Amino acid sequence: MSKDMMPNFELYQPETLENLLQLLDRYGDQAWPIAGGHDSFDWFKDRAKYYPYVIDLNGIAELKGIQEDESGIVIGAMTSLTEIEENTIVNEKFSLLSQAAARVASPQIRHAGTIGGNLNQDTRCWYYRYGVDCYRAGGNTCYADTPEGQNREHCLWGASRCVAVSPSDVAPAMVVLDATMVIASSSGTREVSAEDFFIGPEVDIERMTVIEPGEILVSIKIPNTWANASFYFEKVADRNTWDFPLVNISRAMFVENGSITRIRMAAGAVQCTPRRLEVVEQVVTGSPVNEETAELAGEVAIRGAIPLNFNHFKIPLLQNLVKRALRV
Amino acid sequence: MLSRTKTSRRSFIKGVIASGAAASSTAYMFGVSGCSNQEVAIGGVERLISLNVNGVTRNVDALPNETLAMTLRYKLGLTGTKLGCDRGECGACTVLIDGVNLYACSTLTHSVRSKQITTIEGLETSDGLHPVQQAMIDELGPQCGFCTPGQIMSAVSLLNKNPNPTRDDVRRALSGNLCRCGAYDHYINAVMLAAQRGV
Amino acid sequence: MVRIDSDGILHIHTGVGNLGTYSHTSTARVAAEVLGYNWDHCVVERGDSRKGLPWNLGQFGSNTSFTMTRTNYAAAMDAVNKIKNIAALTLGGDADDYILFEETVRHDANEDQSLTYAEIASLAIDLGGQFSGEEFPDELNDMTKRAVRQLVGSGLIGVAKDNLERNGSVAALAAGFMEIELDTETGDWEILDYLGVADCGTVMHPLGLASQIKGAAIMGIGLASLERHIFDPQNGLPAYLGLCQSKLPTYLDIPAKLDWSAVEIEDPSSPIGAKGIGEPIQGCASAALLCAISDALGGHTFNRTPVVKDMILNYVSGNQQSHKPLQVNTA
């Protein structure tokens, strides 16, 4: 009948969070929840991953929507990226997030893709995606970190047997905005700060986030800490749409009398998690917004970068993006 | 509650579809009644479904792993929606679901049971071609024409939301559709012409 | 091969396929022009060999416009010849005394002595022989002969082999002009303006030519800056699988201004002066982009394409390139 279809699976479409958690409990690590599906279907179609139970989250209304309260905003994990891009509250107070969401992939993917899916997305290392048995796939080798590995997109920091990067545009923005992830399971909910939510290979080489089987991200809380700050987002990719970042930068800062009083910066696609540029933040706090500060920040940002064979271009790129983030 | 002695397959299916409830196909196949409290499968899907495509209700047997593009093309005979990459990377399969342009190759058919699906075949009315389609002809939009259905669906979605776009708006709205022939410029001309003529 | 049926409709049978250049129809217009036909009374028969299609060039090789205008011209001239002969046979006089006017053939000394093309076609069917396709030149290709046999007796058949003079190769030429703005901090560039100028002889289909020049420019931009075939040298795995890795230009990568023009110098090798266009319009855009990038960076910089952001950033920051000299198909 048709070709190239995904292997058959049992599909569940729960309508409440409670039902979802029951399903996750019942099927454990044999269950795969899908939201927009754009990351998942590639795996299934390439037959590189297979799960017999797929849980469609699109019917769970309580996971969608953006609410504002006195402490900040709460974004349901199933909120689409387009909704975040167009939401008035997000654009008024946290435009960094809408700017980042607007640069993800293509319009159609943003309409279907969710914030939860984007934050939980798997790395794009092409060897891993090809389906080889590397460490991240449960094997015992890395193909990218080899003398001739084609690793132009891979990391500058945090290599620990795996050198893949976090490809999300929204994740660094979440780190900058000091977001908190609310994770539910049948034993209750727990909250994890955005910085701790993403994990690198030294913690668990087979996962990108702290989510365990049986758990699901339900919402993201963004406090008013950085509301109405001065935001900067820039993404450099091969093409102007549809591409994952080579490097991206997110910045929130408050300036008083020309000097930086508070600042948060994070870079994406240079490490397996969003890289919070803490040293840059410390160095520039209290400094005036001018070219010297920007230059210093750029130099500091790239300290300790360990390039691989094909990705040392990311070093001047990151340096320049940090400089640009501090010139405005 | 269903008991095994009283249920025939036909009445079981009718009951499931009519009530909108769902029962796991494995639960049905292995004779477990859909509502026993130990084996209840909350939210499992039944294969016989109704889709609303171009304003018409179509009944189709859809596997859980079937994507909308496959169902439209191979089960409903609507081959206007093209499969370019089947990976959500090219946009040839773009359709409108509740007016929003999405990749049919990356949408499970079961996810859109209750939604209004519009494909390229659904744009023409008894009055003739849709303004975007006519403008495509007048501006010689397509070259080989393979990406054209997807481009038109994205354009229709844009013009329904923003009837007076700038060229830049058009570029951004259609940026999820690739064209290997490079007919982008003429597509933009066509969409601007359609906007001018009014949809 | 052309055919006039007894309703007076001109059918231009062409073996040219369709990739989207529409040259199957633009090259068919020659026949209509030679026979003085209103284009609304013409049908292009293509795409299905059951329609009786002659041995023709397909739609490739940047030569269709050149080759097929000559071919269709030859077939149409054969039809003209036959029309005049039929008129002379039927109405008297010499074939050379007849002229074509608005889908009729008339004696140039007496305009009442005329026949419509429809009538000519019916006469052709009655007369048979070479007029209706019962006889045809032996030098025709076998496929063309089969096509004629398929249509024999259905009207006036004009069929000929292209024996027009041929003097050397007839190449299409193109020039591209590009202005970019290069951001040395990110390696990103934006094309502000592009003009593609084609030397394709006489322009038969302006909108079609515009489409080709612009489309080829976009392909050229992709070739020069985005598309690469990367393999891992250790294990041969391809790194460019999928359209998100094998990167084609998108809407947001195309020039802000995309203009085209043609020099319109008639080429003597074609009866209407047309040449093909095809590939050159792609190459000139690639070259223009590479030259623009080099110019922005202060001189000839790269000897390898695609010139990607990696290479620009490495060059600007004074670092070595990632690839070894003469190494290709790597990142």
Cα–Cα distance for residue pair C242/C240, rounded to 1 Å: 6
CB contact under 8 A, B42 and A12: yes
What is the three-state SS of C115-129?
EEHHHHHHHHHHHCC
Mean pLDDT of A113-125: 96
Q: Domain of residue B114: give its range.
A: 50-122
Decide if pLDDT at A186 tops 60. Answer: yes
Of C187, C316, C330, Cβ closest to residue A150: C330
Residue B110 shares a structural domain with residue B55:
yes
What's the whole-model pTM score? 0.91
- ipTM of the predicted structure? 0.93
> In CATH, what number does C2-158 get?
3.30.365.10
Residue B103 shares a structural domain with residue B162:
no
Residue A38 in tokens: 């754009």
**Fold category of C173-316 in CATH:** Aldehyde Oxidoreductase; domain 4 (3.30.365)
Task: State the pLDDT at residue B195.
Answer: 97
- Residue B185 maps to which CATH number? 1.10.150.120
Mean pLDDT of C208-233: 94
Q: Which of B64, B88, B122 is the last residue of a domain?
A: B122
What are the C-alpha distances in Å from B141 to residues A204, B133, C20, C66, C194?
A: 51, 9, 10, 24, 19
Helix (H) / strand (E) element for C310: namely helix C309-316
Q: Which domains does chain A have, with CATH numbers?
A: 10-59 (3.30.43.10), 61-120+165-225 (3.30.465.10), 227-325 (3.30.390.50)
Taking contacts as CB-CB distances below 8 angstroms, the residues of chain B near C250 are 175, 178
Decide if pLDDT at A4 tops 90. Answer: no
pLDDT tens digits for range B140-191: 999 999 999 999 999 999 999 999 999 999 999 999 999 999 999 999 999 9
In chain C, what are the domain boundaries? Answer: 2-158, 173-316
What are the C-alpha distances in Å from A129 to residues A133, A238, C237?
A: 10, 19, 12
Residue B128 in tokens: 């003739």
Task: State the pLDDT at residue B13.
Answer: 54
The answer to the question of residue B190 being in a domain is yes
Dihedral sign computed on CA atoms, order B120, B126, B131, B133: positive
Task: State the pLDDT at residue C167.
Answer: 85
Of C20, C250, C258, Cβ closest to residue B145: C20
- Residue B69 maps to which CATH number? 3.10.20.30
Residue B55 shares a structural domain with residue B109:
yes
Residue A310 in tokens: 């094909």
pLDDT tens digits for range C86-103: 999 999 889 999 999 999
Mean pLDDT of A23-35: 93
Residue C75 in tokens: 């077939």
Mean pLDDT of chain A: 94
Lowest model confidence (mean pLDDT) among A69-78, A299-308, B46-55, C163-172: C163-172
Cα–Cα distance for residue pair B44/A281, rounded to 1 Å: 50
Of C235, C242, C308, Cβ closest to residue A238: C308
The answer to the question of residue B2 being in a domain is no
Residue B58 shares a structural domain with residue B110:
yes
Residue C100 in tokens: 């074509």
Dihedral sign computed on CA atoms, order B86, B90, B94, B99: positive
The answer to the question of residue B64 being in a domain is yes
In the 8-state DSSP scheme, what is residue B75? I
Asked whether the beta carbons of A307 and A315 are under 8 A apart, the reply is yes
Decide if pLDDT at A40 tops 80. Answer: yes
C250 touches chain A (CB under 8 A): yes
Task: State the pLDDT at residue B46.
Answer: 83
Task: State the pLDDT at residue B35.
Answer: 42
Question: pLDDT tier at C328 (50, 70, 90 boundaries)?
Answer: confident
Mean pLDDT of chain B: 84
pLDDT tens digits for range A288-323: 999 999 999 999 999 999 999 999 999 999 999 999
The answer to the question of residue B1 being in a domain is no
How many CA within 13 A on the CB side of residue B116?
7
The per-residue b/e assignment along B38-61, b for 16 or more CB within 10 angstroms, e otherwise, is eebbbbbbbeebebbbbeeebebe
Same fold, C2-158 and C173-316: yes
CB contact under 8 A, B89 and C208: no
Domain count, chain B: 3
pLDDT tens digits for range A204-253: 999 999 999 999 999 999 999 999 999 999 999 999 999 999 999 999 99
Select the more confidently predicted residue: C171 or B17. Answer: C171
Residue C13 in tokens: 């049978």
Instruction: Say which residues have a Cβ less than 8 Å from residue C147's Cβ, sequence separation at least 6.
Output: C1, C13, C52, C53, C54
The per-residue b/e assignment along A42-59, b for 16 or more CB within 10 angstroms, e otherwise, is bbbbbeeeebebbbbbbb
Task: State the pLDDT at residue C256.
Answer: 84
CB contact under 8 A, A236 and C233: no
Question: pLDDT tier at C61 (50, 70, 90 boundaries)?
Answer: confident
